[in-house]
Amino acid sequence: MAKVAYYPGCALNERSSHLDRSARDATEILGFELDELESWTCCGAVPPVSKERIMNLIAPSRILKDVRDSGRDMLITICDFCYNTLKRTNFSIRNDDIIRKRVNAFLADDTPSRTYLEEDTTPWSDYEGEVKVVHLMEYLRDELGYAEITKKLKRSLKGLKIAPYYGCVMLRPFDEIQLDNPENPTIMEDFVRALEAEPVKYPYRTECCGSYLSVSSPDASTRLCYRILSSAMKNGADAIVVSCPLCFYNLDSRQKVVLDAYPDFKTIPVFYFTQLLSLALGVETDRQGFERHYVDVSPALEKIGNSGEGDKA
């Protein structure tokens, strides 16, 4: 089975480990393994907003260089924030001579004390952006092909109307990310169709959910989440699908706060894209971690014939 270098990131390694598990289950069925990096650190979650402050680039650059030094040229992640940070760091290293030189100067002097690792005897060479950073959604579209997913479905999601939520960092800034059209993307809609569900378009699918404002300004995040969730429901969605652990937390767990703030609000299930993928590929429901969701997903599962009606021969 082919192996692809995999960076899980902090949230998926701990708080949202059930989402990581669903990704590994799904990719194994699809014929490739997410090969977690032997030693990785937090990527920093966000790239610096100033070119003068390159310290925020050191952690993601170290991760990318480790992938290159291991003989691999591609790195997959399933977290939008990790994807954005790693890809934009790579872009800066590839396209800015000064940043590349400064980052490599730090990396050359970087000797972390990790006694549990064998001594690295690899001859030093500057990291110049050789690794390709890809989102798992991107890998499924461009490397595997959505048609191949449909061929391997064991449980059709037909009958379920799903509203893709892109958020703000999966697609932007376009010049550096270049994953899809940031104003009218289709990658998640096409993914939903590959699972034989019906994608739902709605006005707020590329708007921010409040991100870290859920900590610093919770009221602002609550308003944003209400607007997104309500818009999806008004346009006929049975559920929402996301590809970011923070968006997942805001749109699922914060629904209890939205309920208190907006009496007219009705809850809606939120899925991570890897959960829907592994579910459609036949992975058992009890491996998805649905019991860790705030909003009960049972009504959505019933729409796809979870009792067996949706199973494919």
pLDDT in tens, 222-260: 999 999 999 999 999 999 999 999 999 999 999 999 999
Mean pLDDT over 271-281 rounds to 98
Is the pLDDT higher at 122 or at 294?
Answer: 294
- Render pLDDT for 1-18 as a digit per residue (tens, 0 to 9): 899 999 999 998 888 999
* pLDDT score at 113: 58
Is it the case that residue 308 has pLDDT exceeding 50?
no
pLDDT reported for residue 34: 98
d(C-alpha 98, C-alpha 111), whole Å:
22
Q: Does the pLDDT value for residue 49 go beyond 80?
A: no
Tell me which DSSP letter residue 170 carries.
S
Confidence of residue 114 (pLDDT cuts 50, 70, 90): low
Question: Distances in Å between the alpha carbon of 55 and those of 50, 81, 259?
Answer: 11, 18, 41
Nearest to 152 by CA among 28, 15, 13: 28
- What average pLDDT does the segment 65-82 reach? 96
pLDDT score recorded for residue 309: 41
Q: Tell me the residue type at 153.
A: L
Region 151-161: mean pLDDT is 97
Higher pLDDT, 50 or 279: 279
Q: Which residues of 40-52 are buried (b: 16+ CB within 10 A; e: fewer)?
A: beebbbebbeeee
The domains of the chain, with CATH numbers, are: 2-134 (1.20.1050.140), 146-303 (3.40.50.11810)
Identify the three-state secondary structure at position 104: helix
Q: What is the mean pLDDT of the chain?
A: 93
Q: Does the structure show a pLDDT above 80 at 121?
A: no
pLDDT (mean) for 301-307: 73
User: Average of pLDDT values for 295-302?
Assistant: 96
Classify residue 121 as exposed, middle or buried by CB count within 10 Å of its CB (0-12, 13-18, 19+).
exposed
Asked if the model's pLDDT at residue 305 lies above 70, the reply is no
CA angle 155, 240, 4 (to 5 degrees): 65
What band does 115 get if pLDDT is binned at 50, 70 and 90?
low
pLDDT digits (tens, 9 = 90+) for 93-109: 999 999 999 999 999 98
Taking the model in full, what pTM does it have? 0.93
> Mind listing the pLDDT tens digit for each residue in 190-218?
999 999 999 999 999 999 999 877 778 88
Question: In the chain, what percentage of residues exceed pLDDT 70?
Answer: 94
Across 266-274, average pLDDT: 98
**Which residues touch 24 (CB under 8 Å, ≥6 apart)?**
33, 34
The answer, yes or no, to whether residue 86 has pLDDT greater than 70, is: yes
In percent, how much of the chain has pLDDT > 90? 83
Task: Identify the band that residue 313 occupies on the pLDDT scale cut at 50, 70 and 90.
Answer: low
